[in-house]
Structure 1
Amino acid sequence: MVRDLLKSAAYVTLDDDAARRSLEEDPCNQLKALSDQAKDSALPVVIDEVQRLPELTFALKRIVDQDNRRGHFVLTGSADIFTSGKAYDSLAGRVTTLTLRPFSTAEIYRAAPCRILDAVAADPKNPLPLLPKPRSYDRPEIIDLVVRGGFPEMRQLPDRDRMGRSSNYVDSIIERDVVATASHFPTPKR
């Protein structure tokens, strides 16, 4: 999605073995070269699937501390490297995190935003007439929304495929997160 929506000076995916190996061998100089390439364009360097090389955080910290342009790097991935315990640095004060959630019902139906705060600001005593009329749903629509969920790639799958994918997703989250969380706690003595 970032590659499609965000113009960038450089796009590197760590799913590419050669790119990952290059960054593993010399992270600071490789990132610095990408950063220097991006400097003239004022566009960010996008590093996708960054969780595959969490050690990059230390090199990123060094580069950002030397050149603290906003939006210098955009890091994307399917897992949060900062909760894995493997990142060398938290990049505290140097990073903003954006978590993409599954589609909301309004997004699924391509409804305009509610803008409740704008309505209250425009007429604090009576904002309701300024808000869009809520959509009504019948029982089958509600059941379909709940069963299909909000993950874009899963919404279009046939029921059996979607159920299998959902089950695998839940299993992988539980297995990964439980192991990661458990590793932060001491083993109880018997």
Structure 2
Amino acid sequence: MCGSVGRMSTPRDLIPRQAEHLVSDSLEDTRVVLINGARQAGKSTLTRLITGSRPDAIIRLLDDRATLQAARDDPVGFVEHDALMVIDEIQLVPELLRSIKVAVDLDPTPGRFLLTGSSRILALRTLPDALPGRMEVIELWPFSQGELHDGADRFIDAAFAHGPALKHTSALRKRDYLERAVVGGFPEAVRRNSRRRSAFFNSYLSTLIERDVLELASIERHGELLKLVALLAGRAGGLLVPGTLAGASGIPRTTLVRYLELLSSVFLIKTIPAWSSGLTQRAVATGKLAFVDTGIACHLIGQDANRLADPDGAAGPMLENFAVMELARQLTWSEQQGRMYHYRTKDKLEVDAVIETPDGRVIGVEVKAGATVRTDDLAGLRNLARLLGDRFVAGYVLYTGAQTLSFGDRIRALPMEALWHLAP
């Protein structure tokens, strides 16, 4: 490709993404498609995969200074094109959305624009128009384990299709899962060794705070926000209580809530909402904290696989974060639609992930770092099964052991690897 406008070559060794067919399908019936996700998650590479079969597509990269200036100077002329136009990092010039709206209103042909963004476009302060009814948003996450290791990535579909009949045997052990958690899923981190990966994470976090967050809000005290990010990493998998975090960080509660919203908007953290069936008043309504990429969380707490495996290491919360975010990734492409929650009662019975379909069916997933499963590990799932009755499809304990184990009615223990290898 010459400069910032033209064709992108498509290397044969690009890892296929699960989102590719979602984007391709959307372009068939939607005027504007937005690939939204974390910086460095592979959005630009995905557009190469999509446009490889579209020789008339044109690609404009707003990271290029001259292209950025052209977009600002003449947004109407910038978006003129008869075929598919890809605009990378649209959040850098959000006023282009107004010109795109006019263009697709005049010509409603599907597949006019493919946009990418590394912050939640709808949260931008200067957003002129959200293109209601004209734009479909597809989230792109860092690599899933299935994408990295040639797995089916269909555990959710398999669970709702087969319930407690799921079985899997794995050769992976706890150390293998910890190594994968430490690496995470960012393409640049995956290809680097440990020392160079650490340098990438440092650069990534610095850019995220000093550039991406500033696109959303004016932040004067960057150091305060970086301190909060480190504090949050140590609480991954825990309840997200702003008052408690404000006390621990010294940041006023109102400011802290704003910071949390910003960190979510740039895809660093995710809140897993609390689940309640409405049948009980014993459920805790507070959301849980997760990091979009477990590799970054491990980097922030300063623990490699060896340190995580120590008796006082953070293997438990990091592997929980790892598994829960694999489920979150799958929900963006699974055939079975559903939403993910966590469940915790005031008596401290809990289930790490509760996935509920629109028709009310539920699966529960509990994550354990150990290679054995104890009776206490099943308490939350059994409580959920009693509460829901026939709506409860199955409960699974994902652990670091090798075999599938049955624990009675609709409760099974599965190797964590089942997450990315099982399919309906």
- Cα distance between partner residues in 2 of 1:20 and 1:181: 20
Q: Residue deviations 1:78-136, cap 9 Å, x none?
A: 33333221222222222111121112222222112336536755xx6x772xx573534
Match of 2:174 in 1: 139
Match of 1:41 in 2: none
Shift of 1:143: 1.4
Shift of 1:65: 1.8
Normalising by structure 1, we get a TM-score of 0.73
Q: Does 1:19 find its partner at 2:19?
A: no
Instruction: Please list, as runs of the form range in 1=range in 2, the aligned pairs for 1:87-106 lying within 5 A after superposition.
Output: 87-106=127-146
- Cα distance between partner residues in 1 of 2:118 and 2:160: 37
Equivalent pairs counted in the alignment come to 172
Q: Does 1:163 find its partner at 2:195?
A: no
Higher relative contact order by CA 8 Å / sep ≥ 6: 1 or 2?
Answer: 2
Structure 2: segments with no counterpart, 5+ residues: 1-44, 220-253, 256-424
Shift of 1:6: 1.8
Instruction: Please list, as runs of the form range in 1=range in 2, the aligned pairs for 1:65-144 lying within 5 A after superposition.
Output: 65-114=105-154, 116-117=156-157, 121=161, 128=165, 133=168, 135-144=170-179
Residue type of the alignment partner of 1:94 = R
| Aligned-partner SS, 1:168 | helix
Match of 2:216 among 172, 176, 180: 180
Instruction: Please list, as runs of the form range in 1=range in 2, the aligned pairs for 1:147-158 lying within 5 A after superposition.
Output: 147-158=182-193
The percentage of counterpart residues that share the same residue type is: 32
Residue type of the alignment partner of 2:71 = L
Decide whether aligned partners of structure 1 residues 66 and 179 sit closer, same or farther in structure 2, where only a CA change above 3 A counts.
closer
| Aligned-partner SS, 1:86 | coil
| Aligned-partner SS, 1:57 | helix
- Cα distance between partner residues in 2 of 1:94 and 1:133: 43
- Aligned 8 A contact 1:114 1:132 in 2: no
Shift of 1:71: 2.1
Match of 1:4 in 2: 48
Which range moved further: 174-183 or 53-62?
174-183
Normalising by structure 2, we get a TM-score of 0.36
Decide whether aligned partners of structure 1 residues 120 and 158 sit closer, same or farther in structure 2, where only a CA change above 3 A counts.
closer
Q: Residue deviations 1:147-177, cap 9 Å, x none?
A: 1111122112121221222233234435544
- Cα distance between partner residues in 2 of 1:170 and 1:110: 29
Structure 1: segments with no counterpart, 5+ residues: 39-43
Match of 2:89 in 1: 49
| Aligned-partner SS, 1:79 | coil
Decide whether aligned partners of structure 1 residues 21 and 70 sit closer, same or farther in structure 2, where only a CA change above 3 A counts.
same
Q: Residue deviations 1:33-58, cap 9 Å, x none?
A: 31xx21xxxxx211112222111011
- Cα distance between partner residues in 2 of 1:145 and 1:60: 41
Q: Does 1:29 find its partner at 2:77?
A: yes
- Cα distance between partner residues in 1 of 2:121 and 2:112: 18
Over aligned residues, Cα RMSD in angstroms? 2.9
- Cα distance between partner residues in 1 of 2:106 and 2:198: 48
Residue type of the alignment partner of 1:55 = E
| Aligned-partner SS, 2:87 | strand
Decide whether aligned partners of structure 1 residues 71 and 115 sit closer, same or farther in structure 2, where only a CA change above 3 A counts.
farther
Residue type of the alignment partner of 2:48 = D
- Cα distance between partner residues in 2 of 1:142 and 1:110: 16
- Cα distance between partner residues in 1 of 2:117 and 2:139: 10
| Aligned-partner SS, 1:96 | strand
- Cα distance between partner residues in 2 of 1:24 and 1:75: 16
More helix by share: 1
